[in-house]
Amino acid sequence: MQQITAQAFAAKFNSKREVYRFLSHEVGAYVAPFETMTVWHLRDLASNQRRIMKSTNIKIMQLPHFEGLTIDAMLVWAVNWR
């Protein structure tokens, strides 16, 4: 890991799209779709003020809508999953 100054980072990455590409492709961070990310959120990720989750650690689940389904209930079920 290498630290650089804010000025050096700003000189290399001039736009939101460039910072998004850097975080998603070069760092391998999991980021939401480009349209939903703000430049301030991306800045916080790049400056390590927010925690970065690696995209290799993310599992996507597609669930149908169930009444009463909560995250707590899914976590109780997931404890027994391998």
Domain boundaries of the chain, sorted by first residue: 6-78
CB 27 within 8 A of CB 50: no
What is the Cα 60 distance to its own chain's centre? 13
Whole-structure pTM value: 0.64
Q: Which tens digit of pLDDT belongs to each residue from 11-46?
A: 888 889 999 998 999 889 999 999 999 988 998 888
Q: Which residues of 48-73 are buried (b: 16+ CB within 10 A; e: fewer)?
A: eeeeeeeeeeeeeeeeeeeeeeeeee
CB 13 within 8 A of CB 22: yes
Confidence of residue 81 (pLDDT cuts 50, 70, 90): confident
